[in-house]
């Protein structure tokens, strides 16, 4: 059994990986590097620094690399795991701060950039995007975190065993948070520091990245909050259709003729709204049933 490890996804990080591995080894028993199909010598450099390297034959994406972190930790029977970026944005000296709550029985610790309001170095466009994703993640997951997109997190054995990553995209961070309630996991946030002056720190367009993550969160909402996804909009359509119908009946009573277009729209809104409302209720009952069964 390996007590505590630091795990990091890496894609073409040969320039930074050596120093990150060496620094992490000061605070953990072992370092795992997931070489996600790099075209440079990232794997060789990581091994030379003393890391345990898992190689992907092709690039799977951030989610696929994070999934390998958890699978490797389970295979090695790890007690605690810290996941940290390999590009130098995160400070390995913060690792003890993330591990401390685990010793108190917390299942998962999130390294947040916003607890102490020290976000002045974060570009404004990133703050706006992060706030949108935080709000969406908190609403869909029924949780309250200040930094849903932080890649600097710590997990105990219980959470390592329970968390399962299903997607390869950048939404893996939010996907994990959406499982907190499903798996009855406890979590805590601690302040971390993050650098944004690291050369080549991100290969993803922030707008494209944010849009894809937001889309995936709302896709999860279809399952997790069907009342909000289907029933609420359905009720809005239904009520709108009813009001339109009452208005048309009043006009007809006063001698005006019914217009085909608005009348057809009224019928469609009423029927579609009814269908959506009942669909949401049925899916809500099904999702509650599955979540109940997961407890046994």
Nearest C-alpha neighbor of 158 from the set 121, 107, 120, 210: 107
Please report the pLDDT score of residue 195 as a whole number: 80
Q: For the whole prediction, is pTM greater than 0.85? A: no
**Distance separating alpha carbons of residues 181 and 174, to the nearest angstrom:** 13
Q: Are 117 and 127 in contact (CB under 8 A)?
A: no
Using alpha carbons only, what angle is made at residue 210 by residues 209 and 213, rounded to the nearest 5 degrees?
Answer: 85
Q: Are 114 and 154 in contact (CB under 8 A)?
A: no
What φ, ψ does residue 265 adopt, rounded to 5°?
Answer: -65, -40
**Distance separating alpha carbons of residues 85 and 92, to the nearest angstrom:** 9
pLDDT reading at 291 higher than 60 = no
Please report the pLDDT score of residue 109 as a whole number: 97
Mean confidence (pLDDT) of the chain: 84
Instruction: Please state which of the ranges 35-49, 103-117, 132-146, 202-216 shows the lowest mean pLDDT.
Output: 202-216
Please report the pLDDT score of residue 200 as a whole number: 54
CB contact burial 76-104 (16+ within 10 A = b; e otherwise): eebbbbbbbbbbbbbbbebbebbbebbee
Tokens of 104: 């108190």
Banded model confidence at residue 190, pLDDT cuts 50, 70, 90? very high
Task: Give the Cβ contact number of residue 22 at 10 Å.
Answer: 14
**Distance separating alpha carbons of residues 159 and 85, to the nearest angstrom:** 19
Query: Over pLDDT 90: what percentage of the chain?
Result: 45
């Amino acid at each position: 059994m390996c007590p505590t490890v630091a795990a990091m996804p890496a894609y073409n990080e040969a320039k930074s990986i050596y120093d990150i591995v060496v620094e992490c080894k000061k605070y953990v028993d072992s370092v795992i590097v997931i070489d996600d199909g790099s075209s440079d010598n990232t794997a060789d450099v990581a091994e030379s620094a003393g890391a345990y390297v898992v190689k992907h034959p092709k690039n799977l994406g951030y989610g696929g690399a994070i999934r390998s972190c958890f699978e490797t930790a389970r295979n090695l029977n790890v007690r605690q795991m810290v996941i940290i970026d390999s590009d130098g944005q995160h400070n390995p000296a913060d690792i003890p701060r993330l591990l401390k709550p685990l010793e108190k029985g917390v299942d998962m610790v999130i390294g947040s950039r916003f607890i102490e309001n020290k976000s002045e170095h974060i570009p404004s466009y990133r703050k706006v995007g992060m706030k949108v994703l935080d709000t969406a993640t908190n609403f869909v997951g029924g949780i309250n975190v200040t930094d849903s997109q932080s890649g600097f997190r710590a997990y105990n054995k219980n959470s390592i065993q329970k968390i399962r990553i299903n997607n390869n995209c950048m939404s893996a961070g939010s996907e994990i948070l959406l499982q907190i309630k499903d798996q009855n996991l406890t979590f805590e946030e601690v302040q971390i520091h993050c650098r944004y002056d690291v050369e080549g720190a991100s290969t993803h367009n922030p707008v494209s990245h944010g849009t894809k993550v937001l889309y995936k969160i709302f896709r999860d909402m279809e399952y997790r909050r069907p009342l909000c996804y289907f029933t609420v909009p359905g009720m809005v359509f239904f009520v709108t259709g009813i009001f339109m119908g009452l208005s048309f009946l009043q006009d007809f009573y006063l001698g005006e003729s019914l217009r085909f277009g608005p009348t057809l729209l009224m019928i469609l809104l009423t029927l579609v709204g009814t269908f959506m409302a009942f669909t949401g209720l049925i899916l809500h009952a099904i999702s509650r049933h599955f979540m109940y069964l997961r407890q046994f």
